[in-house]
Structure formats: structure tokens, C-alpha cells
Amino acid sequence: MDRRTFMAAAGALAASSVTARNAVAQASAPPPPVARGAWRRFEVVTEIEMRPDAGATRLWLPIGSMDDTDYFRSTGITWSGNAADTGIWRDPVYGAPAFHGRWDGTTLSELTVKNTFMARNRHVDLRRPTRAAAPADDDLPVYVASTPHIPTDGIVRETARGIVRAHGTDPVTQARAIYEWIVENTYRDPKVAGCGTGDIVEMLESRRLGGKCADLNALFVGLARSCGIPARDVYGVRVADSATWRSLGRAGDITKAQHCRAEFFDARFGWIPVDPADVRKVVLEEDAARTLPLDDPRVALARRTLFGSWEMNWMPFNTAADTSLAPATSKPIGHFMYPHAETSRGVLDPYDADGFRYRMTAREIVT
């Protein structure tokens, strides 16, 4: 027992639904403030079992971000189980933390990992520049770079140019135009497995702009990067009910509550949170009886709020995309939001929690 303490259609498509007047109207109405409130404390427990007939097994488990911010702080990681060796490693490109364990496959592989953390709501007031210090020079280039799933040339760049053409050169104004275009033109597809693959070129070339959070928010990131705006997906998991929207929270069993958000950088404000994918989730899932129109008050509120704000009923993991993690996986993975296991029989399906045999639970710690 081990226990220790220690995140082509480009031009036509771009011009489709967002008009300059609509984007300006949205930009002129500041998002409703998200009350920062007091720090809340949470506990997230992940339990994993893998049968011995899987043979020798290696596991990479996403854990809470280890980088403290003014809206999230990890307060501890503990684990127990029968792994031959364990440890926390950081991805060499993104610094993504991963719990890594190895089993020889002679017995049932067992592991329990507990994350505790503090969180409070996040809001950036875009009417009041804070002149936040930019990250180190070697950080921002990572978040304007092209990756296999998020390229910044070709149809991605052409689409972005069509979207921002009438919006000058201000990064916030351009990012707002991209955000509004995604809200107007995409849709949440409930048939997509997990959170989606984030293959934005396929989305644009096929003109099938449906998906889930790792698709729609990756589209925001790619379009922003192609305009020279640093942007990134932030992968994580919902841990509590939302105070405002029925569809944007999950408490108790959170095994299938993974959710990625996005943010972009402006030197006047620092990193600015956005989440166009959750606007489309409100459209599809907020009312069990029908799909909501974009002018429904519940959707309109989400649309205003989720450019510049995050409700922190959510635990961030990392910003790692198209990564091999550390220790290196057998091949790169598109995003690190689910447990990743490699056995003598191959890679386990991370979206099949029952076949993989893992369970995640969350609770708020009230003192």
C-alpha cells in the first residue's frame, strides 16, 4: 500500500451568420458580472480497477492543475493502490500534470486518487484594462502555434480572416467576433463520443459545424491563433451544479462530466476566459422539452456571460493538446481530459468508463 501527498468554405462560411451590426451590438453590452464570491472547497476522487488479464499496464490520469491562479488553487493530491510504481509527471511542452502508475498485470490493478482544491468564480472586466504582466516570452508562442488538430493555416486562416475582416486589429474585438460567429454557426451534437476530437479542419471543410466542447472550443482556439491571438483549450471536469443553468453543472458522480473551456490572451487583461461551446449546450439541453432559440433569455444570458467569465463549478486539469505527456505515451493524444491506459492488449477506450472500470465523484467540502 502506497500513500503520498502532493493540471473551403472559408470566405462564404465566415461571412454566413454574424453580421457586423450583430457583433458590435454584442460587444457594446458588457457581460453581466459573475460574482467572485468566497472560495469554495471541493474533493474529487477517481477510482480505477483493471483486470489482471490485461497484462502489464501503464496509466496516465489527469489531475487538478498545479498552477495557482486567482480563481483556482490545488490543496492536495493523495493516492493509494497496488501499483508497482507511481508518481506525478509534467508534460514537457505544456507542463500538464499527470498521475502515472504502472502494474505488472499479475493481480487486479487498483488505484484511488483524491484531489482537493479551492475555487471561486472568474470574471475579467473588459471595460477596465489591468495591464496584467505577460507570461514569460517562452509561454505565449506555444499558444499561437499550429498543432495537428488545431492548424492555423489553410481553411482555418481563411475562415478567421473572413470573420474578423470588419473588426479592426484589436485582439478583444477580433476574439469577440470569432466567439459570436461560433455561437451563431455551430451546434452541439449529442451523438459525438466524449467531448469530441477537436478536428477543426474536418469541421470547416465538411461544413458540418457540430460537435461538443473539445470541437467547438478548439474551433475558437484555432481561429484566434490564426489571427495571431494566443489562445488555448483548458481541459477539466464539472464538479458541482451551476447556480444559473441546469445544463451547465454536475455533482456527485462526475465520471462523464469532463468539459473543456477556452481562453485567449491580451496584454491589457491577461488570459480572458470564454466558452462558446457551453452557450450551444444551453441551447440544446437547458430545456428538456425543446431546443431553445438564440434569443431565449437563458441563452442570451449565457452568451453574454461566457465571454469573459467562468463559473468555477469546475476543476481545470491542463492545456495540453496533441501531446505525448510524460512519461511518453505510445503515440500522441489529442487532448488529456480522460484517463489514458495502455495494456499488453492495446489502448483502453477512455470513453467506456464501465469497460475501463473507472469512476469519478465530486463533493463540496463545507466547514
Average pLDDT over residues 120-135: 85
Q: Is the pLDDT of residue 5 over 50?
A: no
* Whole-structure pTM value: 0.91
- Assign domain 40-119+319-365 to its CATH architecture: Sandwich (2.60)
Q: Give percent above pLDDT 90 in the chain.
A: 80
pLDDT tier at 136, thresholds 50, 70, 90: low
The 3-state DSSP class for residue 175 equals helix
The tens digit of pLDDT for each residue in 191-210 reads: 999 999 999 999 999 999 99
**Average confidence score pLDDT of the chain:** 90
DSSP 8-state assignment for residue 94: T
Q: Which of 35, 41, 36 is nearest to 73 (CA)?
A: 41
For 182-195, what is the HEC assignment?
A: HHHHCEECCCCCCC
Confidence at residue 53, expressed as pLDDT on a 0 to 100 scale? 78
Q: Which helix H or strand E contains 279, and what residues bound it?
A: helix 276-285
**Residue 33 pLDDT grade (very low, low, confident, very high; cuts 50, 70, 90):** low
Angle at 352 between CA 257 and CA 53, to 5 degrees: 135
Give the model confidence (pLDDT) of 343-355 as tens digits: 988 899 999 988 8
Chain center to CA of 5 = 26
pLDDT band of residue 32 (cuts 50, 70, 90) is low
Give tens-digit pLDDT for 262-319. 999 999 999 999 999 999 999 999 999 999 999 999 999 999 999 999 999 999 999 9
Is domain 19-37+130-317 annotated with CATH 3.40.50.410?
no
Band of the pLDDT at 22, cuts 50, 70, 90?
very low
Residue 87 burial (C-beta neighbours within 10 Å; 0-12, 13-18, 19+): middle
Domain ranges, ordered by start, for the chain:
19-37+130-317, 40-119+319-365
Q: Taking 70 as the threshold, does the pLDDT of residue 1 lie above it? A: no
Where do we find the cell 499488453?
A: 344
Burial profile 98-128: b = 16 or more Cβ within 10 angstroms, e = fewer: bbbbbbebeeebbbebbbbbbbbbbbbebee
Burial grade of 140 (CB within 10 A; 0-12, 13-18, 19 or more) = middle
